[in-house]
């Protein structure tokens, strides 16, 4: 009689199949990833639920993320969550776009002074070599890079741009603007009036 080890049981409790942290797909191909566990699991995606070719077959246990006839629009990080323990598993999906290398995202990055921030220069192809520059500077910014998240470093109030290089070709990203939030304690006070479903708010800094 064989009993699984604690390590094996842990994997069975909450896992993705396939378990690779990232996958690169060809245009018009299809891909399915299964999230399983011993309690209900759900998928979350940065994409709109109405995106054609993206669907979730949610059976509670397991839950399947299905990508069909993919295009570059399906690139991004897909997260499976186990609500009972707030654990997450994620998989990064890349669908190379020959015309554009960087995924278009919002230009603003909010962060606290002196803390790390991430410039979201996410790429469609993990083979792109990405470096970060402060706009107007030739010296690149040191930082930790992840193709599906961007470059993380201690940044300052400024404008930044990412440059990608692959196979002797170079392309630039959009400009990203960083806004620092000073270390102020903000206290929000709520009080309910005598009228039902009515409240007021006062913020003190």
Alpha helices, DSSP H, located in 48-191? none
Q: Which residue has the higher pLDDT, 128 or 196?
A: 128
CA atoms of 54 and 122, how far apart (whole Å): 20
- Structure-model confidence comparison of residues 184 and 31, the more confident one: 31
Sorted by where each starts, the structural domains of the chain and their CATH numbers stand as 6-94 (2.60.40.10), 96-205 (2.60.40.10)
Instruction: Give the pLDDT score at 43.
Output: 87
C-alpha 26/C-alpha 89 separation (Å) is: 23
Give the H/E segment covering residue 13.
helix 6-13
For residue 201 the two structure tokens come to 């708010």
Residue 195 has pLDDT above 80, yes or no: no
Percent of the chain with pLDDT over 70: 76
Q: Which residues of 129-145 are buried (b: 16+ CB within 10 A; e: fewer)?
A: ebbbbbeeeeeebebeb
Residue-level pLDDT at 198: 39
- pLDDT attached to residue 155: 84
Nearest CA to 28 out of 74, 76, 64 is that of: 74
- pLDDT (mean) for 56-79: 87
Q: How many CA atoms within 13 Å lie on the side-chain side of 14?
A: 17
Mean pLDDT in residue range 77-90: 87
């Amino acid at each position: 009689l064989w009993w699984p080890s604690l390590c094996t049981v842990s994997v069975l409790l909450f896992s993705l199949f396939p378990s690779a942290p990232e996958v690169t797909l060809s245009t018009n191909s299809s891909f399915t990833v299964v999230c399983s566990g011993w309690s209900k699991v759900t998928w979350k995606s940065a994409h709109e639920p109405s995106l054609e070719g993206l669907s979730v077959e949610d059976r509670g246990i397991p839950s399947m993320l299905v990508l069909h006839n993919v295009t570059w629009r399906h690139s991004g990080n897909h997260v499976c969550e186990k609500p009972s323990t707030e654990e997450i598993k994620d998989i990064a999906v890349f669908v190379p776009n020959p015309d554009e290398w960087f995924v278009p995202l919002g230009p603003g990055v909010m962060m606290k002074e002196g803390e790390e921030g991430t410039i979201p220069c996410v790429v469609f192809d993990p083979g792109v070599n990405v470096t970060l520059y402060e706009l107007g500077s030739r010296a690149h910014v040191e930082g930790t890079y992840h193709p599906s998240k961007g470059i993380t470093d201690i940044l300052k109030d400024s404008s930044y741009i990412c440059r990608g290089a692959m196979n002797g070709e170079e392309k630039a990203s959009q400009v990203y603007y960083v806004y620092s939030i000073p270390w102020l304690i903000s206290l929000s006070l709520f009080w309910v009036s005598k009228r039902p479903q009515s409240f007021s708010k006062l913020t003190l800094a």
